Structure 1
Amino acid sequence: MATQTIDDLPTPALILDRAILRRNLKRMSDRLREAGVMLRPHLKTAKSVEIGRMAVEGHDGRITVSTLAEARYFADGGFRDILYGVGIIPSKLAAVTELRRRGINLRVVTDNLAVAKAIADAAKDGDTFSVFIEIDSGGGRAGLPYPALPGLLDIARVLHEAPGVDLAGVMTHAGHSYHQSTPDGIAGVAEQERLAIVTAAETLRAAGIPCPIVSGGSTPTAMHSRDFTGITEMRPGVYVFNDLDQEYIGSCGAGDIALSVLASVIGHYPHRNQVLVDAGALALSKDISAQEFQPKVGYGTIANPPAAGMAVIECSQEHGFVAADDPLPYGNLPVGTRVRILPNHACITAAAYDRYYVVDSDLDGGKSVVDVYDRINGW
């Protein structure tokens, strides 16, 4: 059977460069190991057992997920210590119990006293739970706001005193690090993140409540933090692939983006200095995060000549409108030409696909498909 190349693939298709992926994984792995911090990668980005196994190589195998579907998928793939990092609700506890009865240490998160009581009640029949209390370190999404930490001790006491419930620790996501673009700015957020969860942990311990795990998480803060004192684990996610947003934030370089969308030119429109490609909103997403620091990236930029640097400036459902400041080289972009589009936000772009076509730029420049990795979607 002949080797498949990217020119043989239907478009749009999701392309993963294994060589860049491995470098990204090693960089974060080495960084946290040297800092003395455990790595619990957030696999909501990759959603792939193959990539997950690569991410935890040399570590103890703990991971983070964002859906129960991911939890089941990674449990089936052999992972045993899984943090479901989205606030739990009572109606989902039965699904958590199902996995825990299989020997999976599926841990849950809450910042709500009523939910803590529901967890305690659910444990009365002999089932067990492992729970993190979520802290808002400044991102404004979920968690008990720092520095007030309202209700922390009330929630912790309910969980700590309930038979069958393990209060695993505290956690946060420093999502506001994504709005910084300098090492100093990100380091400032990282210190805020650290203080929030370390203060919460110290508050619990001062009240006689154990807090074994102090969990931070975001790719920028994992890369740029200057002090991990008191943090026991970090949960970066998008570092496995990186994207334009991470490049302009400063978490990676231009050559560190492992993911791209393969698209085909489907039309020429010289009167408006544009070409169309067959990757629109459903193939690229309409995430515009990287535009905060570089407005001209549009919905993704093209990586390969002769269209390198051009951007998808607008999307409809299945159409991407590619433009540039200079006249487009239509003669070098005939209809059918394949282009590779770098995403603004790898997590959301990848969610449109059920597989990765894996290439390796260290082998042949990334022209041949060397593997196919599956991924889990849905909830």
Structure 2
Amino acid sequence: MAIKASQNNVLLRPHFKTHRSAKIAEWYREEGITACTVSSVRMAEYFAQAGWNDITIAFPFNRWELDKINELSKRIRLRLILSSLTAAEYLAQTATQKLHIFIEIDAGYPRSGIPASENSEIQACIDVISTNVNLKFDGFLSHFGNTYSSRNQEEITSLWHESLQKLLPLKRLFPGALISVGDTPSCSIIEDFSDVHEIRPGNFVFYDFMQTLIGSCLPEQVGVTVLCPVVAVYKERRQAIIYGGAVHFSKDSVEISGKRLFGWAGTTNDRLTPEYIPGCYVVSLSQEHGVVEFPQNVDMPEEGQILAIMPVHSCLTVSCLNKAYTPEGEEVEMLAVSF
């Protein structure tokens, strides 16, 4: 990803919410990356403490955290996103420290942000931002999150171009404004980023089961697995129960042949490297229970055996577990979820 960004002359500002780890963040530094994206003020504080001094909080400005934001911006170059005119008006009245601002644009994924066609509201936001000398308008940020619902690379590519076309008029209307986009499917598939200034993929550091199915990566490129002990085996129904449930994986799912699945299961070798079994999936999750279903041509596991589970969504799984290990057994601490 770093090579691709360099070849396109765009800034790679990876989203660190996937790994939530100061140690893993150092791997990015080794590739020359100096800026990052996070999803909360707490996460920004954590990575600032680890020496990152150019951070974007890619979550709508939360006025209840203004004191923390003002304090953090004394130490680092902090960029916020404003997702409405109301948020811009409030921040313009209350910001007491230097803050860089992105206006969030809805380019077809209707989660948060001002619709790309609402030029008058966008202009009003920029005008309001300019009334406070502490605020600097940098440009526009958008997340093409609808690519995660794609079924193949062609759909990812189509959604990328469709969403980008909604942003390009803003680039022409507001010369000098930066365009920041980011989603792992697009950033994995697209080769030409000449119309944007920075990309913010996060999931690509690990990838996951979902990304293999939509074509963002190959199974052998997935860098995270969850090791779960088998606690019960029911050979008559070709199922095993693992200690690995919704509290460990979340309940994100994918669909194959009309069946809802929660992970891809396999065995491990002596170095705990996963070997995923075709057709062997987690078919049900409750709080701590996971139900793994085995195809007919595969030996059933024994109780006490460790199974490797490729999670559907690595970002949420990491948030659930808060700790990881390298294949060599080295522990990797991660920022625990807090509110």
Normalising by structure 1, what TM-score? 0.82
Counterparts in 2 of 1:327 and 1:58: CA distance versus 1, 3 Å: closer
Judged with a 3 Å threshold, the aligned counterparts in structure 2 of structure 1 residues 254 and 294 are, in CA distance, closer, same or farther, namely: farther
Alignment partner for residue 110 of structure 1, among 76, 82, 89? 82
Verify the 8 A CA contact 1:144 1:150 in the aligned structure 2.
no
Q: Which moved more, 1:231-240 or 1:315-324?
A: 315-324
**Matching residue within 243, 247, 251 for 1:286:** 251
Which residue identity is paired with 1:177? T
In the TM superposition, residue 287 of structure 1 has moved relative to its aligned partner by 0.5
**Residue aligned with 1:304, SS:** strand
Q: Quick one: which amino acid aligns to residue 216 of structure 2?
A: S
For 2:15, the equivalent position in structure 1 comes to 42
> Following TM superposition, by how much is the alpha carbon of 1:303 offset from its aligned partner in structure 2, in angstroms?
2.9
1 or 2, which has the higher strand percentage? 2
Secondary structure, counterpart of 2:225 in structure 1? strand
Question: Given residue 262 of structure 2, which amino acid in structure 1 is its aligned partner?
Answer: Y
Partner amino acid for 2:282?
V
Deviation of 1:150 after TM superposition, in Å, equals 5.1
Code of the aligned partner of 1:191: H
Q: CA deviation at 1:90?
A: 2.0
1:19-41 alpha-carbon deviations (Å, 9 max, x no partner): xxxxxxxxx11111111111000
Q: Cα–Cα, structure 1 residues 38 and 278, in superposed 2: closer, same or farther, change >3 Å? A: same
Which of these residues, 277, 300, 319, is aligned with residue 308 of structure 1?
A: 277
Partner of 1:158: 128
8 Å CA contact 1:138, 1:176 repeated in 2:
yes
2:172 maps to what in 1? 202
Match of 1:351 in 2: 319
Corresponding residue of 1:378: 338
Match of 2:271 in 1: none
Gaps of 5+ in 1: 1-27, 360-367
Match of 1:356, SS?
strand
**Cα deviation code 1:76-107 (max 9, x no counterpart):** 00000110000002222211111012x21121
* Structure 1 residues 276 and 354: alpha-carbon distance in aligned structure 2, compared to 1, 3 A threshold: same
Inter-partner Cα distance in structure 2 for 1:296 and 1:358 = 32
User: What does the per-residue CA deviation read over 1:304-328, in whole Å, with 9 as the maximum and x for residues that have no partner?
Assistant: 2687231111111111111134166
Q: Deviations over 1:134-164 (max 9, x none)?
A: 0011111111113344500000111134211
Q: 1 or 2, which has the higher helix percentage?
A: 1
Deviation, structure 1 residue 57? 3.1
Flag the structure with more relative contact order, 1 or 2, with Cα contacts below 8 A and sequence separation at least 6: 1
Would the alpha carbon gap of residues 373 and 303 (structure 1) be closer, same or farther in structure 2, given more than 3 Å must change? same
Q: For 1:172 and 1:134, locate their aligned partners in 2 and report how far apart those are by CA, in whole Å.
A: 6
Report SS of the residue matched to 2:104.
strand
Q: What SS does the corresponding residue of 1:141 show, helix, strand or coil?
A: coil
Structure 1 residues 307, 73: closer, same or farther in 2, change over 3 A?
A: closer
Question: Do residues 183 (structure 1) and 153 (structure 2) align?
Answer: yes
Helix, strand or coil for the counterpart of 2:226?
A: strand
Q: Deviations over 1:265-302 (max 9, x none)?
A: 111112322111111111122101x32x5655711011
- Aligned residue number for residue 214 of structure 2: 249
**Aligned-partner residue type, residue 7 of structure 2:** E
Sort the Cα spacing of 1:34 and 1:181 in 2 relative to 1 into closer, same or farther, 3 A.
farther
Structure 1 counterpart SS, 2:60: coil
Does the 8 Å CA contact 1:82/1:105 hold for their aligned counterparts?
Answer: yes
Distance 1:323 1:243, change over 3 A: same
Q: How many Å apart are 1:67 and its aligned residue?
A: 1.2
Distance 1:130 1:272, change over 3 A: same
Number of the residue aligned with 1:23: none
Moved more, 269-278 or 237-246: 269-278
Offset from partner CA, 1:235-271 (integer Å, 9 cap, x none): 0010000001111111100101110110111111123
Question: Partner residue of 2:203?
Answer: 238
Match of 1:341 in 2: 309
Q: What root-mean-square deviation, in Å, do the aligned CA atoms of Structure 1 and Structure 2 show?
A: 1.9
Aligned residues of 2:152 and 2:213 also touching (Cα < 8 A): no
The 1:61/1:297 distance shift into structure 2, 3 A limit, reads farther
Would you say 1:321 and 2:321 are equivalent positions?
Answer: no
Aligned partner of 1:365 in structure 2 is none
The answer to whether the aligner puts 1:91 opposite 2:54 as a matched pair is: no
Secondary structure of the 2:231 match is strand
Residues 133-144 of structure 1: matches in 2 within 5 Å? 133-144=103-114
User: Distance between the aligned counterparts of 1:230 and 1:55, measured in 2?
Assistant: 24
Match of 1:298 among 253, 261, 274: 261
- Structure 2 vs 1, CA of residues 237 and 77 (structure 1 numbering), >3 Å: closer, same or farther? same
Residue 106 of structure 1: SS of its match in structure 2? strand
Q: Partner amino acid for 1:184? A: E
Q: Which runs of 5+ in 2 are unaligned?
A: 269-274
Q: Pick the aligned partner of 2:46 from 73, 87, 92.
A: 73
Number of the residue aligned with 2:30: 57
TM-score by length of 2: 0.92
Q: Distance in 1 between matches of 2:258 and 2:27?
A: 34
Aligned mates of 1:255, 1:307 — CA distance in 2: 10
